[in-house]
Amino acid sequence: MCSPEPISFSPLTRANFALLQKWLAAPHVSIWWNERFDLADIETKFGPRVDGKEPVYTYLIQHESLPIGWIQWYRWRDFPAHAAEIGAGLDSAGIDLAIGEVELTGRGLGPGVIREFRRDYIFTNAGVEAIFADPSAANLRSVRAFLKAGFEVVDTIQLSGEDFSRHIVRWPRPSDRPMLPDAR
């Protein structure tokens, strides 16, 4: 098993868009993301995030200084309809991630990535009381990564317009983690 250290994060930039496109097209990712992007689509979806015009904060995941995937977080108050469907409070955050390099999947990196990002990026922001994610119930690798990172499954639902179930996973703000002013 590969050690989850050292993990680091860097903000996504336009220079990373071709890499992001490659990862989204990889079979082990595309089966769960169900989105196909050319570079123009990547610009349309991720450009506003890079420019700070959309409240989704996307980062590259790096392992031993090499980019291996991406991770993003957002406040559920900015996506209230989806938050209501999954039972996430508006004072909570959402998180999405993918290890894009297939040869690095299944090595135990995911839980470490989630734990570090949760601690060093999400819970450094004031008013975030919990983190919710909603992976496909069939995406066992993702669900296991969240569980190993300390999340618990609080519900299993089917979103409107979807034909599959999702596990709703939650991690509450640790009581010993003070809230600091907002930081990206």
pLDDT confidence band for 4 (50 / 70 / 90): very low
Instruction: Confirm if 117 and 98 have CB atoms less than 8 A apart.
Output: no
pLDDT confidence band for 175 (50 / 70 / 90): low
Model confidence pTM above 0.85: yes
pLDDT of residue 179: 45
Domains in the chain: ranges and CATH:
7-172 (3.40.630.30)
pLDDT at 164 over 70: yes
Taking only the tens place, the pLDDT of each residue in 101-156 is: 989 888 889 999 999 999 999 999 988 999 999 999 999 999 999 999 999 999 99
Taking only the tens place, the pLDDT of each residue in 27-62 is: 888 778 767 788 999 999 999 999 999 999 999 999
Residue 78 Rama label (left phi>0; alpha psi -120 to 50; beta) = alpha
Instruction: Confirm if 36 and 84 have CB atoms less than 8 A apart.
Output: no
Q: Which residues contact 175 (CB under 8 A, 6 or more apart)?
A: none
pLDDT of residue 5: 54
Q: Give percent of the chain above pLDDT 90.
A: 75
